[in-house]
A and B are shown apart, each in its own frame.
Chain A
């Protein structure tokens, strides 16, 4: 194309400058399957060397592209093979040591987060998985950049309730060990149902065992742009028209992600993996998914109608984005992390957005209960109940759901946890006072659902 269009140039610059269009993450997916061995120290050395070999230019090349296209690339990340698998053959595996190796490598190559301190235990735990899960709290407390996840349920296997209860205790302990930082350890951990092997977003990114040796996955963003597009429509525009404008905007956002992803993959000389079409908010004013609900005509996130608005948004984002990329994957949809979204924070603080409403929203959003702070004295059995509910929504609806919840040590409803940066600030939200302990202590596995007679 030799010519250029003034309006297009102005629109693009306005999207970036005023409405926070950015590339949320470029995530290098790296297999560590060939790093296995019988000695933790040797495995650690292989992991460190491999990460440095493949990721040494990631941050620099991403910065170059940011400069050349004048579009911010907010995070540079790495996702590796679940460490529970890589280190399982070790005699007396020291998982905390390996987390520290990951952290050291991440620091050395100058990236923001490294994901894959993970295990896939939806049907049950191996001996290695059990040791691994016990190591998670200390691993999170003793590292800065390491993110951890557990897949506890799938639509095919059901819900591992032993894992659910263990996870609730992991979350409590991770928060307790990082109490000076408002339980930040728990904010770097997520529990999944139907986890995704090519997701570039944290805390849940890992390189699945079906993934290639190395690939570059990209996560786009841009709730501010969608909000702006809807605000420019008349209040009387019908919802079909609103869905259309969301699709068009998602297309533009995604093409940008695709372009940056392909260019970065070329420069790194690795294959381009997928683009994740997620709308990810930040605490910045205007860069809010809750703001989109307001633009659609709801008083605030949490109003009756929010689930319907989110369902339409989630679907329209996928429909618009899918045309713009050859390979779409990851979580793809709209995120609703409470602490990372100024509109959600306000709604939660005002008491109009509750965990119950968020749970309903997760049945139609891209992931699940995300970055929710609860009182530090919430019993593990209640947290297990919250996780079980969320896993059930994912299992039955054949979608990815997740729980990233922070029981903030020493804090109560009415106070707030401050994590800073992209993780933002979370008002402590009340949970149910009712007791779930007998149910969650039954353990066992909730059987996989019937995949027919869908009523």
Chain B
């Protein structure tokens, strides 16, 4: 169900350990990573993760706070959003 899918967008300077740290935080929360895509935009590293929070141990709010904190430790900007917003905006 789309409501249980989230998209995590992480951007900033590329460095060692970004995927590892975010993935570890997600594993802790029992959030399943279904897909990862990454790109370089204007010298910035941008990574997006499609995740399912169906079996997550915590609420959306707590998951978001956790991931944003992990991102902050890496000096990366993190956006955590329900996937629906992208589905509705970009399809007829």
Contact = CB atoms under 8 A, between A and B. Distances in A.
Interface in B34-58: 34-35, 37, 39, 41, 46, 48, 50
Contacts of B41: 10
B84 A12 contact: no
Contacts of B35: 3-4
Interface in B56-76: 60-61, 64
Contact of B88 (A3, A70, A255): A255
Interface string A241-261: 000000000011001101100
B37 A1 contact: no
Given A4-B7, A4-B50, A6-B39, A69 B87 contact: no
Interface of B: 2, 7, 9, 34-35, 37, 39, 41, 46, 48, 50, 60-61, 64, 79-92
Which 10 A-B pairs have CB atoms at the shortest separation, nearest pair first?
A255-B88, A8-B90, A259-B88, A70-B81, A69-B85, A252-B89, A68-B82, A1-B87, A255-B89, A6-B37
A71 interface: yes
A12 B92 contact: no
- Which residue, B39, B50, B87, B90, has most C-beta atoms of chain A within 10 A? B90
Contacts of B83: 1, 4
7 contacts: A4-B48, A4-B86, A9-B9, A256-B85, A256-B88, A259-B85, A259-B88
B77 to A, nearest CB: 9
A71 B82 CA distance: 11
B48 to A, nearest CB: 6
A340 to B, nearest CB: 25
Given A4-B48, A68-B82, 5 more contacts: A4-B37, A8-B86, A11-B90, A70-B79, A70-B85
A68 B60 contact: yes
B22 to A, nearest CB: 16
A69 B35 CA distance: 19
B61 A9 contact: no
A127 B41 CA distance: 66
B9 A1 contact: no
B89 A68 contact: no
A172 to B, nearest CB: 46
Contacts of A256: 85, 88-89
A323 interface: yes
A68 B61 CA distance: 7
A323 B85 contact: no
Given A4-B50, A6-B37, A67 B61 contact: yes
Contacts of A259: 84-85, 88
A2 B79 CA distance: 19
A2 B50 CA distance: 9
Contacts of A443: none
A68 B82 CA distance: 6
A13 interface: yes
Interface in A226-253: 251-252
B89 A67 contact: no
